[in-house]
Structures are given as structure tokens and as C-alpha cells.
Structure 1
Amino acid sequence: MKFDTVVLGAGIVGVCVAVHLQKRGRQVALIDRKLPGNETSFGNAGLIQREGVYPYAFPRGLGTLLRYARNQSPDVRYHADAMLKTAPFLWRYWRNSHPATHAAIAKSYSTLIEHCVSEHRALAADAGASALLRPIGWIKVFRTEAAQQAEVRLAEQWHQEYGVAFGALDAARLQQMEPDLDTSLHGGLHYPEADSVSDPNALVTAYAKYFEALGGRFFIGDANTLRDAWQVDTEAGTITAGSAVVALGPWSDRVSARLGYRLPLAVKRGYHMHYAAQRGAQLNHPVLDVENGYLLAPMARGIRLTTGAEIARRDAAKTPTQLAAVEPIARTLFPLGERLDNEPWMGGRPCTPDMMPIIGPANRHQGLWFAFGHAHHGLTLGPITGRLIAEMMTGEQTLVNPQPFRVERF
């Protein structure tokens, strides 16, 4: 029960960290309370967002803020009892979303995004899971000309600054690509360099099986028992390792706080539901309804509807009001049939106020490493994060500069 490294958390980030360390000759124990890919990584939209060079910012327009304040927007909802605790985080998030600051953040963030698709494809090929990746991109759709023009301007900016490819779609071209969408749509915007995933849970599971094929071991255990040395309690007994990586997503601050780190981590919760398609209708790409803040994605189980963000206490009871609000709208966008899940799934996106993940060594403990805070891009950035952590831990030349992601910035 002695290992070189113990990785806490078997979501997409933790599994990728474990794989890359094991590939480099480390003996790795991967620990979670559930099987790999069955928490936050289970319920995302399945996008590997090569275009996502600018992380999702806090809105700064007065009209948008007033709309959110009424707490009836389909894309953002909040629990009143969570706002006081979350207010300091939201204030810092709002400040970092100033256009000049956001642009500076993107210069660092884009260095990770640049490698997201290539690193996924390489890992999927090694894991025998390439069939789960679809190199077809994804589409934003618009109901008004004003909304499309605003998004095209952003796409043009991203193209000029970072070479992000895009294609503006008029109504006729959109109808060719997605014949079963609402014919009254004004148009769309296609990001062709992104990949999508037909089953995110199956992808994480495949990566975890590859980790075990390399000689790594997975254990059901309690990450909250982590203590100096580094020791963790599991169902198979106590594991001891020379180093530990915290990759627990929205629960990472529980472990880091016990060790004396006060990190500004908040959670944006989200929901999904699967649906059948009516009358043989087919959805070819993931499709985001920009003006209503939900996404439809073709998945192995059916058409997955994912919601926007809910600001709430991490462990508060489910309140899928956003799902209830957007489902009737989604049915006008695409002919959805019956629900295929017994109840809505809910998960949490772990967020930092500067919109960038925490990747690198802890600054108070020898052998402790952090890999969390990926917000909306956990699936997107899992493999490049795993590679970056493994390169730092083994003393290799890193593919990207890790400095902007160090914990010391807080």
C-alpha cells in the first residue's frame, strides 16, 4: 500500500493526472468515493472547446446585471441564502472580468486551450477511446440579427488574437447542417476545431482503464482523510505516498482548507436531462441557444439538455428551476420527445475569481500538488492539466508555462 503518488479525485482532471504520472514511471494510487467519472465529469455538455481562449467572464453590462438581479433569467439563477457568503468571490470575479484584465487573463489561459484537442486525441488513441470523440465542432444559434452580430464580433476578435477558426451561418446554411432545428432561427456560428464527446462518463472510464492497464491502481476511499506523510484511508486500507495531488473539483477546498490553504473557490451548479428525439429527428452537433442560455448535445443516451449556472451552496438540495424554464423553449428549438432520466442530474463547476485553474505545487507542504478550479472547462482541460502536473512533478520541460496557474497568485 505504498505508492509514489496518490491522486485524490477520479474525475477527468484527476484521471488524466494519474495517467500522465503513471506513463512517466510513477507508481500511482487514484482515489475517489465513487467510480471514475461519476461526479462532476458525468454531466457536462461534452465539449472540448478549442475556441474557449477567453474563460467565461462575469457580465458587466447594467442591463444584464439588472436582469440577473430579478433571478428569473434562464441562464443564471441564484439562491438568496448563498449570496452573502459568495459576495466576496463575485466581487473579485466581476473585477477580473474588466475587458483589459480579461484580455490579460486570456493570454495565459489560451496556452492551455491551445493544446486541449490535441492532448485529448492523443490520450483517447492510447486508451482505445477515439470513437468517443467527434471532430465536428459545435454551433451557437441565434434568434435575432443583433445577437448573431455580437457573437460574430467576438469570434472575429478571437480569430485575430489567437487564430480561432469559425464560420458564420445564415439561416439556409444552418438548415443544411441541422435540418431538424427550428426554421425561424436567424442563423448560427460554427466552431469547427472543437471536438465533442458522445459519452463523457465513458471517456473518463476509458482513460481510467488505461491508467490501470499501465499498472496504476484505483481505490474507493475518503480524500478528506489526507494527512501528512501522505496517507489516505481507503476501503482496502491506508495508503502512503511520497506525494499527493488534490484534484477534487468542487470539493478541493475541503482538503486544502484542512491543510491551511484559504483559496477562493466557488461553485456554479448546473443540471442536465436526456430526451428522446421525436419522429426520427436527428441532432448532428451540440447546439447552444445563445439568447436562452441552454445547450442541446447528441449523446449516446439521447439528447442531453444542459443548463446555465446556478449560484448556490455546494451541497444545497437540487432546485432544477432552470431546467424547467428552458425545457419548453428547447422543445421549440428541436423536437424533443419524452424524458429519459428519472430525475435531473446536478453537478458543480469549481471556479476561481480570476477564471483560471490552480495547477502546481502547494507552497507550504513538500510533495503536495493542486489541480482544480477549471470552471466550465474541466473536460476541455483535463489532459493538458494532467500532462502539465506530471511534467512539473518529474522535472521535465513543461509544454506550457505553469507560472500563471500557481497557487501563490492567491
Structure 2
Amino acid sequence: MPKPENHASPSDRRSAIVVGGGVIGTTTALVLQRAGWTVTLIEAEDTPRAASWGNAGHIATEQAEPIASPAMVRCFAKRLFFRGGALALPPREIATWLPFSLRLLKAARPARYERAHEALAGLLAQAMPAWQRHVTALGAPDLLRPDGHIVLWETAESAAHGLANWQAADTGTARFRPLTEVELDDWRTRVRSPIAGGIRFEGSGQIADPTRLAETTTARFLADGGTRIVARVEAVGDGEVRLTDDRRLTADQIVVTAGVASAALLRPFGLKAPIIAERGYHLQTGPDVDWPADLPPVVFEDRSMIVTRFAGGLRAASIVEFARAEARPDPAKWNRLRHHIAALGLPIGKDAEPWMGARPTLPDYLPAIGRVPGTRGVSYAFGHNHLGLTLAPITGELVAGMLHGGETAVPMTPFGLARFG
């Protein structure tokens, strides 16, 4: 997607405030800056621990089908955490997850699902090219490893079932092939559990290291003249942001990219964003680990767990837990991860660092990207669920195009909050 041309002189450059310092916010701030805007980025924490930086690092171009689907509804019960699955619905959080789950079921109805599927597939088709443009502009092309990923199964039954599911699925621009017997034997020597089958994806990828991505993005943003403020935002108005310390900042455009917190900031404008904190957990070793640095991410699909080698260590990630963002982490989730790690014989020991973060998720599993109606200068980009990292650069480009008033790479209507009434 071509970047909007910048015809402004330094004295009349337009200004923007981006509220939220996750991967969507930082990337959007940098894309706007490259398009000629004077940008201020507001982050809530000096050292962010959002899901943006604690994810599996996977560029998931193959996930062209929204999770809110008829297929998901059919297998919902067997995915529950207490039955050994990765979907956790804590009883103490029922007031949070029950209303969201009912909306999810409505979004999974065939007609709504097909519309969401078409919109998401179109967006994901732009994801990898946008990432390639982004890391090139950062001057760090090695941050992106477009080497695909691997899916493994541990029983003949799950291998046959899993392969059939992927063959029937829309994998967007990604493609896969069965692993050869030589490749399977290599995995059988690498992990303790028996490996019955697997596939290798092409067209997907990973970030070499999320921490380095965050540091590189912030450094480039500041070096190119951006302003970064660590503060909490109390409210957003038309062209104005009010901080909790009563400071007021003004700009031509305000872009809300605050994840789960975005819903409350947009509520005064009459917008509904039925968002939930879809919490994920991981365990990660340090950099000295016996796992080849060139292996792509590997999904142990029977366990709903993905293992990724970063420059900073080996990370095992799993769990979909619907709860309030501020609810205390559940140690049982890390214990489940430790059980899987031990069963597979992965080199992730007891000293692995635990982490929990909240993915901002909307019921139809589409992000929210659009303008606030009735305002001159407020827009939003949040709610990317499992695909925040995957869709960050294309989201930044869409926001820049939208604010510039030109054409965008995909139609924007499906992502507007008007879809929730």
C-alpha cells in the first residue's frame, strides 16, 4: 500500500496523539510519523508488559478464519480448561465472560461469520507485505523471519483429524505441506512425546525478538522527532486528551489504540465496544537454551501450545482465559504449561519466567479500526485479539490512509464500531 504523500512544510505539519503504547500504538505512531505527521505517543507504563510483547511472536497469516465461527461452537465444550483444553472460563468471572460469550455465539452465526471471514482474509492478505515494508523502514529487516511455522500432532487420530481440518480451512496467503519422515524423525529425537504427524507452513513467520522490536520501534520514533509520554489517560475529546494528572494535550487527530481500555475512552462518544480481556500465559527461559536458533515456531496442536525460539530464550505460550484485565493471574494456567513442557521434554526449566497478558478481543474476532462519527479528529484501532502482532503494520497503514483521506488497502466499513449498534 503506498504511503500518503506529505506536502506539508515543517511549520504546518499536522499533529497526532496516539493513545496506547502496545504494538498497534507504537507501529501506528511510527507509520503516521513517516507519513508526515508530528506525533505524540502516550504509554501507560515505562516498561510495557502488554500482550503485544508477551505473545508467541508468530505472524499468523494462516488464521484467515475468525475464531468466532460455527466450527468453534461445535467443539466449544471439549476445549474447556477443566477438560484438558486451553479455554478457561473462571467461575468467579462469569459476570464478565457470559455476556461476551453470548455475543460471540451471535457473531458465529453463518451469515455474520461469512462477512467477518471475508473481511479478515482481506486484511491478512496485506499483513506480510506490510511487515516487510515496516522492518525495512526500521532499518532492521532481520527482525522479521518469514520462514513459516510447524504444526505437530502426537497421535494418529489427532494427526488425521488435524490434517483434514487444515485441508478444509482457508489459510489465506499461507500454504502447507506434510512433513517428510526425515523431518518427523528429527522431531521425535527432539521431544519426548511421540510425534505421529505434522505439517510445515510457508507464508507465515515470526518476529526474531519482541523485546528488540519494541526497543527498535521506540528508538526510531524518538530519533525521527516523535514525543513519548508515560502517563495515564483520563479522557479523550475532539482534538484533546486529558491525563490523570489534569494535563491536557491537543492535536489535530487523536488515535485511540489502548487495547482493552479503549472501550471506556470511546464510551462518551456513544460507541459500543463489547471488548474482553482474553488473557494468555507463557513461560520463558533465558537465552542459553538447547534449542536451535533457526527453528521456526512450532504448534503442538493437541496441547494448544506454541513454542517459539527468540534471541532472548525459548517461550511456551497457551491459554485463552476470559476475565477482567485486572483480575489476578491463575497459577493453575502456568502449572498446565509446566505439565505440557515436562511431557514433551522441552528445555524450559523451573526457573522459567512466568507471564500473563490480556489480548483485547471483540465478539466477532475482528479488530476495530475507524473514525468516531460526529468528531473532526478522533479515530481508533484496537481489539486485534490473537492477531495484534500480525496486523500491526497494516493497521498503521490503514490509519494513516484513513486520516489522509485517500484510498485504503481494504474496505474499512467491516471494522467500524457501528457494527455493534
TM-aligned CA distance change 1:166 to 1:215, over 3 Å: same
Instruction: Tell me the equivalent position of 1:126.
Output: 137
Query: Given that residues 10 and 35 in structure 1 are in contact (C-alpha distance below 8 angstroms), is that contact kept between their aligned partners in structure 2?
Result: no
Q: Deviations over 1:270-329 (max 9, x none)?
A: 111113699844371211111111111112221101122111122111113122013222
Structure 2 CA distance, aligned partners of 1:83 and 1:279? 40
Query: Given that residues 220 and 234 in structure 1 are in contact (C-alpha distance below 8 angstroms), is that contact kept between their aligned partners in structure 2?
Result: no
RMSD: 2.7
What letter is aligned with 2:225?
Answer: G
Aligned residue among 393, 400, 416 for 1:383: 393
What letter is aligned with 2:43?
Answer: D
Aligned residue among 377, 389, 405 for 1:367: 377
Instruction: Tell me the equivalent position of 2:329.
Output: 318
CA drift of 1:134 comes to 1.5
TM-aligned CA distance change 1:392 to 1:63, over 3 Å: closer
Q: Report the 3-state secondary structure (helix = DSSP H, G, I; strand = E; otherwise coil) of the residue aligned with 1:338.
A: coil
Structure 1 CA distance, aligned partners of 2:112 and 2:159? 25
State TM-score, norm by structure 1: 0.90
CA drift of 1:183 comes to 6.2
Aligned residue among 71, 80, 97 for 2:91: 80
Q: Report the 3-state secondary structure (helix = DSSP H, G, I; strand = E; otherwise coil) of the residue aligned with 1:139.
A: strand
Aligned residue among 346, 349, 368 for 2:359: 349
CA drift of 1:405 comes to 0.7
Q: Report the 3-state secondary structure (helix = DSSP H, G, I; strand = E; otherwise coil) of the residue aligned with 1:409.
A: helix
Instruction: Tell me the equivalent position of 1:117.
Output: 128
Query: Given that residues 7 and 245 in structure 1 are in contact (C-alpha distance below 8 angstroms), is that contact kept between their aligned partners in structure 2?
Result: yes
Instruction: Tell me the equivalent position of 2:276.
Output: 266
TM-aligned CA distance change 1:278 to 1:204, over 3 Å: closer
Structure 2 CA distance, aligned partners of 1:358 and 1:269? 19
Instruction: Tell me the equivalent position of 1:105.
Output: 116
Structure 2 CA distance, aligned partners of 1:272 and 1:70? 16
Aligned residue among 257, 261, 266 for 1:247: 257
TM-aligned CA distance change 1:185 to 1:26, over 3 Å: same
Query: Given that residues 277 and 337 in structure 1 are in contact (C-alpha distance below 8 angstroms), is that contact kept between their aligned partners in structure 2?
Result: no
Query: Given that residues 10 and 36 in structure 1 are in contact (C-alpha distance below 8 angstroms), is that contact kept between their aligned partners in structure 2?
Result: no
Q: Deviations over 1:219-272 (max 9, x none)?
A: 112222433441333889542112211101122112122443231111110111
Aligned residue among 48, 68, 71 for 1:57: 68
Q: Report the 3-state secondary structure (helix = DSSP H, G, I; strand = E; otherwise coil) of the residue aligned with 2:175.
A: coil
Instruction: Tell me the equivalent position of 2:6.
Output: none
Query: Given that residues 284 and 348 in structure 2 are in contact (C-alpha distance below 8 angstroms), is that contact kept between their aligned partners in structure 1?
Result: no
Aligned residue among 142, 145, 166 for 1:155: 166
Alignment of 1:4-403 (within 5 A): 4-35=15-46, 38-57=49-68, 64-68=75-79, 71-98=82-109, 101-158=112-169, 162-176=172-186, 179-182=189-192, 184-233=194-243, 238-275=248-285, 280-282=290-292, 284-342=295-353, 344-403=354-413
Q: Report the 3-state secondary structure (helix = DSSP H, G, I; strand = E; otherwise coil) of the residue aligned with 1:166.
A: strand
Query: Given that residues 96 and 322 in structure 2 are in contact (C-alpha distance below 8 angstroms), is that contact kept between their aligned partners in structure 1?
Result: no
What letter is aligned with 2:413?
Answer: Q
Aligned length: 407
Gapped runs of 5+ residues in structure 2?
1-12
Q: Report the 3-state secondary structure (helix = DSSP H, G, I; strand = E; otherwise coil) of the residue aligned with 1:88.
A: helix
CA drift of 1:59 comes to 7.2
TM-aligned CA distance change 1:133 to 1:178, over 3 Å: farther
Query: Given that residues 8 and 14 in structure 1 are in contact (C-alpha distance below 8 angstroms), is that contact kept between their aligned partners in structure 2?
Result: yes
Query: Given that residues 171 and 188 in structure 1 are in contact (C-alpha distance below 8 angstroms), is that contact kept between their aligned partners in structure 2?
Result: no
What letter is aligned with 2:357?
Answer: G
TM-aligned CA distance change 1:23 to 1:163, over 3 Å: closer
CA drift of 1:48 comes to 0.7
Structure 1 CA distance, aligned partners of 2:319 and 2:415? 25
CA drift of 1:396 comes to 1.9
Gapped runs of 5+ residues in structure 1?
none
Structure 2 CA distance, aligned partners of 1:20 and 1:285? 28
Query: Given that residues 41 and 201 in structure 1 are in contact (C-alpha distance below 8 angstroms), is that contact kept between their aligned partners in structure 2?
Result: no
Q: Which moved more, 1:108-117 or 1:195-204?
A: 195-204
What letter is aligned with 1:12?
Answer: V
